[in-house]
Structure 1
Amino acid sequence: MSTLTKKRVAILISGRGSNMSALLAAAADPDYPAEIVGVVSDKADAAGLGIAAARGVPAQAIARADHASKDAHDAAIDAALTKLDAEIVALAGYMRLLTAPFVEKWQGRMINIHPALLPSLKGLDTHRRALEAGMRVHGCTVHFVTPEMDDGPIIAQAAVPVMLGDDEDALAARVLKAEHRLYPKALRLVAEGKVRMQGGRAVFSGLAEDPAGEASSLFSPGALRDAVDLEALARFTP
């Protein structure tokens, strides 16, 4: 039996929660350093709530419409996280901007995954914008959350190619596969204390430096290998 002390993680979602599912799957491993103790959605009809509940994880909706102000809504979410004794908060497709007091309370303990290689393409519609810009490389980023949108210190990134003939759906699907690999790796680093937010930067310590070790997961080339057709990639590469 594992004697690992696991960090208590709560996940915030707004929809289907596919990255939530990836974190739940990772946390099912007895050796994973985090346990998912609850899921909270700002939308009562979020599909991810049912998925979490089916896996035995407490899930609840705290709808914005049920609260008089944005501050009151965030206070209700904070109360739910406190009741869960959450130590880390993971945003997984949470589509509402959080208030500065909420972010400041959880700063250094709250992370997010964004479907682009930050600091490029902050905000919404990242796949469409990548295609419109003619970008040849796209990807995803896990970062600490700060009051400014998509602006916190970067923990890890995964890059995928933009293939000739890609449409928005094809590119989004490729990036999503990379997200599902990257987010559990990044959460592991945070839960183990191998990355922390300090002085507005992500500070790393104790990472294995070998080619297959933890340091390589900060870029996560494995996410690229699993996310693309390697023969097609070879044709793409000059």
Structure 2
Amino acid sequence: MPIERNLPATDTSLPVLGVLISGRGSNLRALMTAIDEGRLRARIGVVISNRPDAAGLAHASSAGVPAVVIDHKAFGGRADFEDALVARLGEAGVQVVCLAGFMRILSPVFLERFGGPVLNVHPSLLPSFVGVDAQRQAWEHGVKVAGVTVHLVTPELDAGPIVAQAAVPVLDDDTPETLAARILVEEHRIYPAAVALVAAGGWRIEGRRFVRGR
């Protein structure tokens, strides 16, 4: 039976995003730009980093977006850390979580407790090259086409239903770094579009397939 998702979105109450980061926040900036340009009808309720030195925190603060640090090292274990994440997301009224270079694996307990969609952008054409350093994995494997995937997060690593993908050619003179840079351009393009699609609601999951509303 299809799973349907309908998120409230009216002129006076836009869907609220929570963005989780660990580093520079380039995809966070892409989301903020898409909101400013009207391509993403949503607002960011909070940006949370598990690292106090994450550069993305400054980008959020300079844009007037609440930015907080919840350092995973300050907790006795994953459960306490994720309890703090869920609590802060709840305080901000977050309906959709966007992982933007968040270098922590979220447990099934977090996904169940949050309850709403959680999105991730991964620098490969899933299901190929899961996990870290996917661009180097693709380059070392010798593929001729790499890319980027936006997917819903499930308990299995990089295995959730695929919302959007974009292909990037692998050139003969590429290095892992040049390939990663070209993939990043596509990340910044398709992640806001995929978040907009999910935040607008009306979609459903059929088996493993993400199906847009009609």
CA radius of gyration, larger in: 1
Alignment of 1:121-160 (within 5 A): 121-160=129-168
Residue 58 of structure 1 corresponds to 66
- Letter aligned with residue 154 of structure 2: T
Residue 100 of structure 2 corresponds to 92
Bigger RCO (CA 8 Å, 6+ sep): 2
Seen in structure 2, the aligned counterparts of structure 1 residues 106 and 196 have a Cα distance that, compared at 3 Å, is: farther
- Letter aligned with residue 123 of structure 1: G
Instruction: Give, in whole Å, the separation in 1 of the partners of 2:127 and 2:119.
Output: 15
Deviation at 1:201, TM superposition (A): 3.4
Seen in structure 2, the aligned counterparts of structure 1 residues 115 and 27 have a Cα distance that, compared at 3 Å, is: same
The worse-fitting range, judged by mean Cα deviation, of 58-67 and 107-116 is: 107-116
Alignment of 1:124-203 (within 5 A): 124-197=132-205, 199-203=207-211
Residue 35 of structure 1 corresponds to 43
Instruction: Give, in whole Å, the separation in 2 of the partners of 1:40 and 1:163.
Output: 36
Aligned to 1:165, the other structure's residue is in SS state: coil
Aligned to 1:113, the other structure's residue is in SS state: strand
Deviation at 1:198, TM superposition (A): 5.2
State the superposition RMSD in angstroms. 1.6
- Letter aligned with residue 52 of structure 1: A
Residue 57 of structure 2 corresponds to 49
Seen in structure 2, the aligned counterparts of structure 1 residues 153 and 108 have a Cα distance that, compared at 3 Å, is: farther
Deviating runs (4+, > 6 A) in structure 1? none
Seen in structure 2, the aligned counterparts of structure 1 residues 84 and 161 have a Cα distance that, compared at 3 Å, is: same
Please give the per-residue CA displacement for 1:135-171, whole angstroms capped at 9, x wherever unaligned.
0000000000001110100000010100111001100
Deviation at 1:18, TM superposition (A): 0.4
Number of equivalent positions: 205
Aligned to 1:102, the other structure's residue is in SS state: helix
Residue 16 of structure 1 corresponds to 24
Residue 101 of structure 1 corresponds to 109
Q: Which runs of 5+ in 1 are unaligned?
A: 207-238
Seen in structure 2, the aligned counterparts of structure 1 residues 197 and 3 have a Cα distance that, compared at 3 Å, is: same
Q: 1:117 aligns with which of 125, 134, 149?
A: 125
- Letter aligned with residue 133 of structure 1: H
Instruction: Give, in whole Å, the separation in 1 of the partners of 2:96 and 2:108.
Output: 17
Percent identical among aligned pairs is 45
Aligned to 2:97, the other structure's residue is in SS state: strand
Q: TM-score, normalised by structure 1?
A: 0.82
The worse-fitting range, judged by mean Cα deviation, of 9-18 and 124-133 is: 124-133
Instruction: Give, in whole Å, the separation in 2 of the partners of 1:39 and 1:198.
Output: 31
Aligned to 1:79, the other structure's residue is in SS state: helix
Contact 2:86 2:114 in 1 (8 A): no
Q: TM-score, normalised by structure 2?
A: 0.91
Deviation at 1:125, TM superposition (A): 1.2
Contact 1:6 1:35 in 2 (8 A): yes
Residue 205 of structure 1 corresponds to 213
Instruction: Give, in whole Å, the separation in 2 of the partners of 1:29 and 1:160.
Output: 25
Deviation at 1:68, TM superposition (A): 0.9
